[in-house]
Amino acid sequence: MPNNYNNYSPAHLEYLCKAKKRRLMIKLARILVFLVFLVLWEVSARLELIDSFITSTPTRVLGTLYQMAGDGSLYYHTSITVWETTLGFTIGTLGGTLIAIVLWWSKMISKILDPYIVVLNSIPKVALGPLFIVWLGNGTTAIVAMALAIAVIVTIMMVYSGFQNVDPNYLKLMQTFGATKWQTLRKVILPASVPTIISALKVNVGMSLVGTIMGEFLVSKAGLGFLIVYGGQVFKMDLIISGVVVLCLVSVALYYLVTFLEGRMLKWQE
């Protein structure tokens, strides 16, 4: 795209100007919605229109976060959750992709395992939580297993269907050169599925986080999930909402990390 504004006609410049204004408007409106929400929340709590014991207030949440940042507990719990999520996410994605490769490699295996994968996909993984705790102990391992269980099945299904959607003519082309299965996998199937694998990553970030929080709810020793459950048990709404706020920030950060990776891996799509 030429970036030289001198080449544009006045009409086009006006069009660009309008488009720019509209984008700015949307951004401002988004921020405004958030601010209005915060102000209404705070004001109605102060005027005692709502019970701040149940709803907490933005300033108290900020205060809690500030105090937790001061005594280091904010960093401690966040880093534990991020670490568990990263583990579940990485192992889930790698393992899921590996299993998808096995399924692609052998049609027979994929046909045999098909119903099992469908069933595993549809059961709520949280139901397996108590099993994981009994088998793996009341700690990080069980939590990561929870995250993994959620992430891995979705990855298998998404990546395998990505493999299957590769245009068969690409495979025919490779065959005409006498390519081996391994060559076809490495030079066609995997690169062609990079966009699918990245969408799987995006889904997995969310999935692993869900799994981790569920695990922390059940195991309850540390992490943002523990913080939220603990807040509920001792009826400290400030703590619950602070936990949720941090969780929001964590999930957004992880999502953008994956989006950043996507941009670097899909240069050819520009």
SS (H, E, C) 56-124: CCHHHHHHHHHHHHHHCHHHHHHHHHHHHHHHHHHHHHHHHHHHHHHHHHCHHHHHHHHHHHHHHHHCC
| Position among 55, 79, 106, 175 found at the interface with other proteins (CB under 8 A) | 175
Single out the segment in contact with other proteins by CB under 8 A; choices: 3-11, 14-22, 170-178, 203-211. 170-178
Q: Give the length of the chain.
A: 270
262 is a site residue for other proteins (CB under 8 A): no
| Position among 99, 100, 150, 174 found at the interface with other proteins (CB under 8 A) | 174
Classify the phi-psi angles of 220: left when phi > 0, otherwise alpha if psi is within -120 to 50, otherwise beta: left
Least separation in angstroms between residue 50's CB and other proteins is: 55
CA atoms within 13 A on the CB side of 260: 6
183: tokens are 């060559």
Least separation in angstroms between residue 98's CB and other proteins is: 21
Q: How far is the C-alpha of 33 from the C-alpha of 41, rounded, in Å? A: 12
Least separation in angstroms between residue 265's CB and other proteins is: 10
Residues with Cβ within 8 Å of 214's Cβ and at least 6 positions away in sequence, in order, are 125, 126, 129, 146, 225
Contact map string, positions 179 to 208, toward other proteins, x by CB under 8 A: x---x---xx--xx-x--------------
177 is a site residue for other proteins (CB under 8 A): yes
Least separation in angstroms between residue 163's CB and other proteins is: 15
Least separation in angstroms between residue 3's CB and other proteins is: 18
Q: Contact positions toward other proteins, by CB under 8 A?
A: 167, 169-170, 172-179, 183, 187-188, 191-192, 194, 268-269
